[in-house]
Amino acid sequence: MARRTASELRRMREAGRIVAEMHECIRAAVRPGVTTAQLDAVGREVIARRGASSNFLGYHGFPAVICASPNDVIVHGIPGEILLQEGDIISIDCGAVVDGWHGDAAFTMGVGEISPEAARLIEVTEASLHAGIAAMVDGNRIGDIGAAVQRVVEAAGFSVVREYVGHGIGRAMHEQPEVPNHGRPGTGGRLHTGMTLAVEPMVNVGSPETFLTEDGWTVVTADQGLSAHFEHTIAIGEHGPEILTLP
Ligand code: MG
Ligand code: MG
């Protein structure tokens, strides 16, 4: 991957700020009785207000600006008339484009009061993302990121999804290289200053096996256990990783 220039990074930061604002507004709208289509409308409103565009809407025909993935849905849930209920968990993944530069980030949260296990899943998944980000240092390798994620997840007794991975990001939402959430330290391509990657652990309470449902998008856990997802877009800076998808 080419080293991003300062002006390219500025536009990626701007896209990232808009994604973070979508997250904030959607978080504030999550409650029992809201539909995932209503959460999509909140995301659309932020994108329109900021004059950005969505990299999710129309992606291989995807019909919304967010993916909304409740409970046993791992990723790529399509927003619709599904009512969120007290005790659910919901993963929201969304992105924005500014001047052709992309941001992409995801979070999982509880709807009202959730079980201790669901709360621990969310906590561990977010912690695994930050462990992966901490490994994003010039001279390290792609495998160092996945190894750091995997260590946190498996120490907690949860499992890492293998079939879906993080990715390079910049002029397109999905660029090379792939960034798996598992791996061996010191293996894979070398990380260098000026790279921009999206790291996105998907973590299951039970088995890591996935199942693609018949709508062709919605990926669920094969054992119907809970799954969580956190993602940031990150630049590797001279002084370490910089999260671009922050307010
Ligand atoms: Mg994403
Ligand atoms: Mg992504």
Which ligand is located closest to the Cα atom of residue 199? Answer: 2
pLDDT at 134 over 90: yes
Q: What's the 5 CA to ligand 1 centre distance in angstroms?
A: 23
pLDDT category at 95 given cuts 50, 70, 90 is: very high
Q: What's the 162 CA to ligand 1 centre distance in angstroms?
A: 16
pLDDT at 245 over 90: yes
Which ligand is located closest to the Cα atom of residue 175? Answer: 2
Q: What are 51-93's pLDDT values in tens digits?
A: 999 999 999 999 999 999 999 999 999 999 999 999 999 999 9
pLDDT at 1 over 90: no
pLDDT category at 109 given cuts 50, 70, 90 is: very high
User: Which residues have CB under 8 Å from 167's CB, separation 6+?
Assistant: 173, 174, 175, 176, 177, 178, 179, 197, 198
pTM: 0.98
Q: What are 159-206's pLDDT values in tens digits?
A: 999 999 999 999 999 999 999 999 999 999 999 999 999 999 999 999
pLDDT of residue 24: 98
Q: Name the percent of the chain lying above pLDDT 70.
A: 100
pLDDT at 45 over 90: yes
Which ligand is located closest to the Cα atom of residue 69? Answer: 1
The torsion region of residue 121 among left (phi > 0), alpha (psi -120 to 50) and beta comes to: alpha
Domains located in the chain, CATH noted: 6-243 (3.90.230.10)
pLDDT category at 211 given cuts 50, 70, 90 is: very high
Q: What's the 67 CA to ligand 1 centre distance in angstroms?
A: 8
pLDDT of residue 135: 98
Q: What's the 105 CA to ligand 1 centre distance in angstroms?
A: 5
User: Which residues have CB under 8 Å from 202's CB, separation 6+?
Assistant: 74, 75, 125, 160, 161, 164, 181, 227, 228, 229
**66 φ/ψ angles, rounded to the nearest 5 degrees:** -125, 155
Which ligand is located closest to the Cα atom of residue 91? Answer: 1
pLDDT at 118 over 90: yes
pLDDT at 2 over 90: no
Q: What's the 185 CA to ligand 1 centre distance in angstroms?
A: 24
Which ligand is located closest to the Cα atom of residue 165? Answer: 2
**227 φ/ψ angles, rounded to the nearest 5 degrees:** -140, 145
Q: What's the 59 CA to ligand 1 centre distance in angstroms?
A: 12
pLDDT category at 222 given cuts 50, 70, 90 is: very high
Average pLDDT, the chain: 98
Q: What's the 108 CA to ligand 2 centre distance in angstroms?
A: 14
Which ligand is located closest to the Cα atom of residue 164? Answer: 2
